[in-house]
């Protein structure tokens, strides 16, 4: 549920639109370079060996740890190397029902514990998506953990078909399948045709592996990683879609988790290919908050002196794009794309993110006025992500996981009715959150969705104004898991809190739990100013 919008944790590149729009957020500090890994063969046990474990050769494989730096332009590898991390490839089956068949690799990185006398174990990371890379995350997570990080092996994992793991790329002309439906039936019909074309491209180019691009298989890979690391249990930190992955892993492999932190919580009953539905009020709240911020800086951005006038500017841009696509640099932006761009700018509640969105809206307003526009850096990166094939692999994997996990409605008319109904309550965001996706044209999933376990003593973290994984979703999982505890960041329209927002109260609560293994006696509420 990471709408791979261009808001990553340390950098703001166009790589997190999956759950950010779809409800998830790829919390990744920097993009990891793909290596073009090809399928490999797992070590074969000696002839005559009899084992009751069909995955024994994967669980007992030797990991070849090496430098993470692939070359002089590999920024992720350089950051990992500077942090003292090493990388390895873990061999896993493509199809767990046929473990002796084709194999793929899962790329991992590790910063080892330095306080070995008090070592807790391995902490596996997932920054969301689906489709987000986590290989490069250990350095910033280790920094957020402060002294407690010395007691963990902090392990980043690029899930199957992501980043440096065996790749999947449907060769799409976009990095995301998320679009608005436009103002009328003609715009919606274009969305239908595009969604069907994207699905056909994946079926044609990646049909042999698509059935195995699922959360359940990613969870199975995690357990192979656990075993290959020599760990009886693992701790886990997951953001956004990664919170759902954590729920699935803890359900499929009971007794193999230690300390579990889920930040930006996606409740299991909210997980589906239509992840954005229901986020309209939270996104509208975030938009209003940004409008107030921009109005206070009208001298800088010129969008309006009051929040109402700023919002009117956004509506004016949308109307102009509906009459004629806006020419911004080398891209044409129509009314199906404007609300997607705005959604993309609303996952982080801070001055830098707000300024990026303000400059983007200013650029679009200038284009609406017929002026020649060279997009600001954030807008340029976001448009490249959405309107070129440079990030095709991200959109391909994200969509493949969502479609492979849960079946979507097949009839375009059902989506059209939902779009029309949603206009009544939110004509700007509704046609995005209810629009059709390639999942309507996908083959049925191989497995049923996971029925998530009834309870788990985990630490849940969520901001009240999270526009991707809403606070209501976190409250739902808290009720479902009575032995868990919920850390609430009050007053922030923020997606992903721990180590991201900079709130001392929330960060300290997570670090105390990671240090002691003891959950707070009761739920914890932190004000956004306590940091």
pLDDT at 46: 55
Higher pLDDT, 127 or 38: 127
For residue 491, what are the CA distances in angstroms to 19, 373, 464, 527?
A: 21, 35, 6, 7
- Token pair listed for 168: 């999947």
pLDDT at 31: 34
477-512 pLDDT, tens digit each: 999 999 999 999 999 999 999 999 999 999 999 999
Read off the pTM.
0.93
- Token pair listed for 266: 């996606």
Higher pLDDT, 43 or 76: 76
C-beta neighbour count of 111 within 10 angstroms: 22
To the query of whether residue 171 is one of the catalytic residues in this protein, the response is no
Cα 45 from chain centre: 37
DSSP letter assigned to residue 161: B
Question: Distance between CA atoms of 312 and 400, rounded to whole angstroms?
Answer: 37
The yes-or-no verdict on residue 272 having pLDDT over 80 is yes
The yes-or-no verdict on residue 517 having pLDDT over 50 is yes
Query: Do residues 303 and 360 lie in contact, with contact meaning Cβ atoms separated by under 8 Å?
Result: no
Confidence at 1, pLDDT banded by 50, 70, 90 = very low
> What does the pLDDT average to over 202-218?
98
Query: Do residues 424 and 417 lie in contact, with contact meaning Cβ atoms separated by under 8 Å?
Result: no
Question: Distance between CA atoms of 104 and 117, rounded to whole angstroms?
Answer: 35
SS3 524: strand
Question: Distance between CA atoms of 164 and 405, rounded to whole angstroms?
Answer: 23
Give the residues across from 438 on adjacent strands.
Answer: none
Across the chain, what does the average pLDDT equal? 92
- Diameter of the chain measured on Cα atoms: 79
pLDDT at 130: 97
To the query of whether residue 466 is one of the catalytic residues in this protein, the response is yes
> What does the pLDDT average to over 343-350?
96
DSSP letter assigned to residue 260: E
Query: Do residues 195 and 78 lie in contact, with contact meaning Cβ atoms separated by under 8 Å?
Result: no
Query: Do residues 28 and 136 lie in contact, with contact meaning Cβ atoms separated by under 8 Å?
Result: yes
> What does the pLDDT average to over 453-467?
98
> What does the pLDDT average to over 82-88?
98
For residue 14, what are the CA distances in angstroms to 103, 356, 379, 396?
A: 31, 12, 9, 15
In the block, residue with structure tokens 């709130």: 503
pLDDT at 22: 37
Label residues 261-296 b or e (16+ Cβ within 10 Å = b). Answer: bbbbbbbbebbbbbbbbebbebbbebbebbbebbbe
The yes-or-no verdict on residue 224 having pLDDT over 60 is yes
pLDDT at 400: 98
- Provide the residue ranges of all domains of the chain, joining segments of one domain with +: 1-39+56-531
For residue 280, what are the CA distances in angstroms to 419, 430, 431, 461, 471?
A: 12, 7, 10, 21, 13
pLDDT at 13: 31
The yes-or-no verdict on residue 531 having pLDDT over 70 is no
Query: Do residues 61 and 90 lie in contact, with contact meaning Cβ atoms separated by under 8 Å?
Result: yes
Confidence at 44, pLDDT banded by 50, 70, 90 = low
Cβ neighbors of 217 (< 8 A, separation 6 or more) are 96, 160
Q: What is the CA radius of gyration of the chain?
A: 22
> What is the percent of the chain where pLDDT is above 70?
90
pLDDT at 49: 53
Confidence at 24, pLDDT banded by 50, 70, 90 = very low
To the query of whether residue 240 is one of the catalytic residues in this protein, the response is yes
DSSP letter assigned to residue 5: E
Label residues 332-342 b or e (16+ Cβ within 10 Å = b). Answer: ebbbbbbbbbb
> What does the pLDDT average to over 48-74?
90
2-14 pLDDT, tens digit each: 443 333 333 333 3
148-202 pLDDT, tens digit each: 999 999 999 999 999 999 999 999 999 999 999 999 999 999 999 999 999 999 9
Confidence at 529, pLDDT banded by 50, 70, 90 = confident
The yes-or-no verdict on residue 47 having pLDDT over 90 is no
Q: Which residue among 223, 418, 466, 493 is the active-site one?
A: 466
Q: 31-40, 437-446, 501-510: which has the minimum mean pLDDT?
A: 31-40
Q: Which residue among 134, 165, 240, 376 is the active-site one?
A: 240
> What is the percent of the chain where pLDDT is above 90?
89
pLDDT at 291: 98
Question: Distance between CA atoms of 363 and 366, rounded to whole angstroms?
Answer: 5
pLDDT at 87: 98
Q: Which CATH class is domain 1-39+56-531?
A: alpha beta
For residue 493, what are the CA distances in angstroms to 48, 298, 345, 359, 527?
A: 60, 21, 12, 19, 12
Cβ neighbors of 194 (< 8 A, separation 6 or more) are 177, 179
């Amino acid at each position: 549920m990471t709408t791979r919008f261009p808001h990553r944790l340390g950098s703001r590149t166009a790589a997190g639109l999956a759950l950010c729009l779809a409800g998830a957020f790829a919390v990744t500090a920097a993009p990891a370079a793909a290596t073009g890994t090809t399928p490999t063969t797992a070590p074969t046990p000696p002839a005559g060996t009899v084992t009751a474990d069909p995955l024994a050769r994967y669980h007992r494989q030797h990991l070849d740890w090496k430098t993470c730096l692939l070359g002089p332009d590999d920024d992720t590898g350089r950051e990992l190397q500077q942090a003292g991390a090493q990388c390895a490839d873990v061999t896993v089956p493509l199809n767990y029902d046929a473990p002796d068949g084709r194999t793929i690799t899962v790329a991992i990185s590790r910063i080892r514990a330095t306080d070995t006398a008090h070592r807790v174990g391995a902490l596996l990371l997932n920054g969301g998506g689906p489709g987000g890379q986590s290989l490069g995350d250990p350095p910033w997570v280790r920094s957020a953990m402060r002294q407690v990080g010395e007691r963990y092996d902090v392990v980043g994992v690029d899930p199957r078909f992501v980043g440096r793991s065996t790749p999947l790329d449907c060769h799409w002309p976009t990095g995301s399948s998320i679009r608005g439906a436009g103002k009328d039936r003609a715009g919606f019909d274009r969305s239908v045709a595009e969604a069907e074309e994207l699905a056909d491209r994946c079926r044609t180019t990646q049909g042999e592996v698509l059935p195995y691009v699922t959360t359940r298989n990613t969870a199975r890979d995690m357990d192979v990683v656990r075993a290959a690391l020599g760990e009886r249990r693992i701790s886990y930190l997951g953001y956004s879609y990664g919170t759902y992955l954590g729920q699935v892993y803890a359900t499929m492999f009971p007794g193999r988790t230690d300390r579990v932190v889920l930040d930006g919580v996606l409740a299991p009953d909210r997980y589906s290919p239509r992840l954005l539905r229901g986020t309209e009020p939270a996104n509208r709240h975030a938009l209003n908050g940004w409008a107030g911020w921009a109005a206070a800086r009208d001298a800088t951005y010129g969008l309006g002196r009051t929040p109402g006038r700023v919002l009117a500017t956004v509506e004016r841009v949308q109307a102009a794009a509906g009459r004629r696509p806006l020419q911004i640099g080398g891209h044409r932006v129509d009314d199906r794309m404007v609300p997607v761009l705005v959604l993309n700018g609303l996952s982080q509640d801070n001055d830098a993110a707000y300024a990026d969105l303000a400059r983007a809206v200013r650029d679009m307003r200038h284009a609406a006025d017929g002026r020649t526009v060279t997009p600001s850096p954030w807008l340029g990166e976001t448009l490249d992500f959405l309107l070129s094939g440079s990030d095709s692999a991200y959109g391909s994997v994200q969509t493949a996981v969502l479609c492979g996990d849960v079946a979507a409605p097949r009839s375009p008319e059902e989506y059209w009715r939902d779009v029309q109904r949603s206009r009544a309550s939110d004509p700007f965001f509704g046609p995005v959150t209810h629009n059709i996706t390639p999942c309507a044209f996908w083959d049925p999933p191989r497995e049923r969705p996971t029925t998530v376990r009834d309870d788990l003593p985990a630490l849940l973290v969520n901001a009240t104004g999270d526009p991707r994984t809403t606070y209501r979703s976190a409250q739902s999982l808290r009720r479902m898991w009575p032995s868990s505890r919920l850390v609430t960041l009050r007053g922030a329209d923020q997606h992903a809190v721990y180590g991201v927002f900079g709130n001392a109260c929330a960060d300290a609560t997570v670090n105390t739990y990671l240090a002691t293994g003891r959950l707070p006696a009761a739920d914890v509420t932190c004000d956004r100013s306590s940091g």
